[in-house]
Structure 1
Amino acid sequence: MYSGVLCAILMFACVYAQVSIPPGYKNKYPQYYYSKQARHTRDVTWDTQVGKGKVFGTLGDNEQGLFGKGGYKQEIFNDNRGKLEGQAYGSRVLGPNGDSSHLGGRLDWSNKDAKAALDLSKQIGGRTSVTATGSGVWNIDKNTRISAGGAISQELGRGKPDIAVQGQFQHDF
C-alpha cells in the first residue's frame, strides 16, 4: 500500500518538475523554449539583375509544405506606346497532401489611361488556363470620368469561360 502511494507521489513530482519552469528561465535560455507562433519565417528570397531583366525567386515553407518559386521578368518597351513587361515563372510545392508544379507566363501593358494583362498558366499533370484583363479611366473634363474594365478566364478544354465586365460614370458636382 505504501509503495503504491510513494510511486504516485514520485510520479506527480516528476511530472510537476517537467511542466514547471522557474521565473526568467525562458528569457535566460530562449533557444530551448520557442513556440511555432513566435518562430520567424525562414523564406529565402532573391532578386538579381540579369541582362535586360531580373531573375527572382523564393524558397520557403508554409502550411502546405515546402515550396520554391522562380522566374524571369523583363521590360520589353517603355515609350509613347506605354509600358510592356513580360514574365515567365514556375513553382514547385512538396507537401503531405501531394506535390504540384506550375509553369506560366504573363504580359502586362499599361499607359496613363489603361491597363491590360494576359496570363497563361499550366499545372503539370493538369489543364492550362488563360486569363485576360483590361481596364481604363478616361477624363471627359475636369469633373467627369468614365471607367470601364473586364476580365475573361478560361480553363482550356473545359466548359464556358468566366466573363466579368464593369463600368462607371462619375461626375463631381
Structure 2
Amino acid sequence: MQVQIILGFALLACACAQVSQASYEERDSDHYKFAKPSRHPRDVTWDKKVGGGKVFGTLGNTDDSLFGKAGYKKDIFNDDRGILKGEAYGSRVLGASGDSSYFGGKLDWANANKNAEATLELTKQIGGRTNAAAAASKVWNFDKNTHLSAGGTVSQDLGRGKPDVGLAAKFEHIW
C-alpha cells in the first residue's frame, strides 16, 4: 500500500511539473560565441508551487545509472512558536550494480529567534529496514560574549540493535 502511495505521488509530481530549459544558444550566445559547443546537461530539475507547498524533483543519469527523485515540501506553521517545515520524498535508482527505491519524511523545527532547532526523519529503503533519526540543538547566550551550545542526535534502524547516540556541547567566551 505504501509503495502504491509513493508511486502515485511521484506520478502526480511528474504530471504537475512544468519542465523547460533554455538552450545554450539562447542563454549564452554572446558569452560562448567562440567556444566549442558544450555538452547538454543530463539532469532535468523542476519545482512548482502546489497546495501551499512545493513539488520538486530531478531526473537524470550518471555514467552507470539512471535516477529519479521527487518530493513535496511545505511550511506547516511560521509564527511565534517558530517555523515547522515538513517534507516527503522518494527516489529510484537503476544501475548496473543493482536497483534501489527509497522514501522518507522529515520535520524541521526552529524557534522564532533561531537559537533552538530540532529534526525528525523517517526513511525506508524498499526491501530494507526503516530508519528513524532525530537531532536537536540549543544555544544559550549568557551575555554578548559568552555562549553555551549543546545538541544531540539519535538514530536507529527500527527493530534492530541499539540506537546510535551522539551528544556535544561547547562553551565559548570571546575575550
Q: Normalising by the residue count of structure 1, what TM-score does the alignment of the two structures yield?
A: 0.76
1:161 to 160, 163, 174: 163
Identity within the alignment, %: 63
1:42 aligns with 2:42: yes
Structure-to-structure mapping, 1:88-107, within 5 angstroms:
88-107=88-107
1:86 aligns with 2:100: no
More relative contact order, 1 or 2 (CA 8 Å, 6+ apart): 2
Task: Provide the aligned length of Structure 1 versus Structure 2.
Answer: 139
Task: Detail structure 1 runs of 4+ shifted over 3 Å in the superposition.
Answer: 38-41
Flag structure 2 segments of 5+ consecutive residues without an equivalent.
1-35
1:149 to 134, 142, 151: 151
| Deviations 1:92-142 (CA, angstroms, capped at 9, x unpaired) | 000011110001000000022111100000000110000101112111111
When the two chains are superposed, the root-mean-square deviation of aligned CA atoms in Å is 1.7
Structure-to-structure mapping, 1:116-127, within 5 angstroms:
116-127=118-129
Structure-to-structure mapping, 1:28-67, within 5 angstroms:
39=39, 41-67=41-67
- CA change 1:42–1:124 in 2 (3 A) is same
Which structure has the greater CA radius of gyration? 1
Flag structure 1 segments of 5+ consecutive residues without an equivalent.
1-29, 32-37
Q: What's the offset of the Cα at 1:41?
A: 3.5
